[in-house]
Amino acid sequence: MKKRRFCLITTHVRRFALLGCAMVIVVFLASCSQSPQIILEESESPAGPSEVWVHVAGAVQLPGLYKLPGGSRVADAVNLAGGPTYDGDTDALNLAALLKDGEKVVVPIKFLSALQPFASGMLPGVPNASPSTGTGKINLNSANQAELENLPGIGEVLAQRIIDYRTQRGPFQTIEDIKEVSGIGDKRFEAIRELITVQ
C-alpha cells in the first residue's frame, strides 16, 4: 500500500516537472520569436542625415566648396561662406530652399541684378519695348500703337495721334518733334525722352 502511494506521488512529481519544463520551453520560444522582430524594426529605422557638398560662389566673403549636413538650406551655405559681401544681393535667392548634393549657389551682385532688365532688351516701365532699334528704345517712326502705349503717360488716344502725325507730316526728324503732337507738352516729353528715338 505504501509502495503504491509512493508510486503515485512519484508520478505526480514527474508530471509537474514535465509541465514546468514545457512552460519554460514555451516562454523561451516566445522570447526567441520576438527577437527577429526587434532586429527588423531596428533595421528599418531611418538613417542619420547625409552630407551634401555645395559650391558657393559670387558675392560672398569666402567662395568655395563646402560640406553641410543633409537638410541644410541655402542660407546655411551662404553663412558658411562668410555671408554676402556689401554688394551681394541675397534677395535674388530663395534662402529657404533645401540644398542638393553637388549644387552651385551663386549670390549675384546688386548692380548686375538691377541691370538685368536692360540686358534682356527691356526698360523699367516699358515691358514691351521694341528691340529693333538695338537700344531698347521705342522708334517713333516705326512703332505700332501697342508699343507707343507702353510709354509712360501715352495712352490709346495719344498713341493714335503720334501715328496720325507721322502719316500726315512724314517721319519725326528729332525726338523733340513729338511735342508737336497735340497733348504732349514739356512735362510729358521729359518723362519719355530717354525711352524714344527716331532712328
- CATH of residue 188's domain is 1.10.150.320
Which whole-number Å values give the CA distances from 157 to 6, 162, 173, 176, in the listed order?
Answer: 127, 9, 22, 19
Boundary residue ending a domain (115, 131, 150): 115
CA distance 158 to 188: 11
Domain total of the chain: 3
pLDDT values of the chain reduced to their tens digit, one per residue, 199 residues? 544 554 545 555 566 556 555 666 656 666 655 544 444 444 444 454 589 999 998 888 898 999 999 999 999 999 999 999 888 888 888 999 899 898 889 888 775 555 454 444 444 444 444 434 445 788 998 889 888 988 888 988 899 999 988 888 889 999 999 999 999 988 888 888 888 998 8
Check: CB of residue 140 under 8 Å from CB of residue 162: yes
- Please tell me the pTM assigned to this model: 0.37
Domain ranges, residue 14: 1-45
Boundary residue ending a domain (94, 115, 136): 115
Look up residue 111 and give its three cell numbers: 548692380
Q: Which of 142, 150, 141, 136 is nearest to 194 (CA)?
A: 136
Within this chain, do residues 82 and 96 fall inside the same structural domain, yes or no? yes
Check: CB of residue 69 under 8 Å from CB of residue 49: yes
CA distance 183 to 189: 10
Within this chain, do residues 41 and 58 fall inside the same structural domain, yes or no? no
Check: CB of residue 58 under 8 Å from CB of residue 70: no
CA distance 89 to 94: 11
